[in-house]
A and B are shown apart, each in its own frame.
Chain A
Amino acid sequence: DIVMTQSPDSLAVSLGERATINCKSSQSVLYSSNNKNYLAWYQQKPGQPPKVLIYWASTRESGVPDRFSGSGSGTDFTLTISSLQAEDVAVYYCQQYYSSPFTFGPGTKVDIK
């Protein structure tokens, strides 16, 4: 199984400042046949289900604010919130869908400093 790790476990950022979350997979999730990274990012707010923010590592889901961006390839990925807003307080998960079982990172909790 592909093991996903995230860092940091939690971070507190001032409103308007940048938040950066890292995700690492135990093996590459880049498929050479289509040059796509099978990596998604989800946001889960308290009492709500997860919501997809980014897929294919860097494609923003429709309706997601452009302050959210994804980057990386192979085994190392980053979710960046360019200017943290109060409504961004949540736990963020990365997930690989390169191979079954599809596995998630342990999550990163983002809070306001």
Chain B
Amino acid sequence: EVQLLESGGGLVQPGGSLRLSCAASGFTFSNYGMSWVRLAPGRGLEWVSGISGSGDGTYYVDSVKGRFTISRDNSKNTLYLQMNSLRAEDTALYYCAKSSSIVVVTASGKGYFFDYWGQGTLVTVSS
């Protein structure tokens, strides 16, 4: 059974940092791309970042480029999201999501749907 368990969320002041983790089990982790998707109050779902199975391809939505870094440790079956310079608008429930393919973005720029999601970890940015 595929399981994704996020952790690391919490309350942080604007300008602060957090590191989210997602522990994966039930599948060969290195064979699949992974993403972070957030659900903000009143704003719906937003794809934030993705990483290929090998870790050599990383992708970000413009609003987090230069502030967030996605990474993975395939030896630990764990996905990470380092979030720096946090803003109030980053407040959201952050889900890790498994791609249905080893890549997140193909050579032709196409993606894949997300076939499994974790329960999420809440990030609140407030003073």
Contacts and interface: CB of A to CB of B under 8 A. Distances in A.
Q: Which range holds the interface residue count of chain B?
A: 20 to 34
Contacts, number: 65
Contacts of A61: 115
Contacts of A33: 108
A66 B61 CA distance: 34
Contact of B112 (A48, A49, A97, A106): A97
Contacts of B108: 31, 33
Nearest to B93: A49
Given A101-B47, A101-B62, A104-B44, A38 B111 contact: yes
Contacts of A50: 37, 45, 95, 114, 117
B119 A49 contact: yes
Contacts of B41: none
B110 A99 contact: yes
A69 interface: no
A107 B113 contact: no
Interface of A: 31, 33, 38, 40, 42, 48-52, 55, 61, 93, 95, 97-107
29 contacts: A31-B108, A33-B108, A38-B110, A38-B111, A40-B113, A49-B95, A49-B117, A49-B120, A50-B45, A50-B95, A50-B114, A52-B114, A52-B115, A55-B100, A93-B45, A95-B113, A97-B110, A97-B113, A98-B111, A99-B111, A100-B104, A100-B105, A100-B111, A101-B59, A101-B60, A102-B47, A103-B46, A104-B45, A104-B46
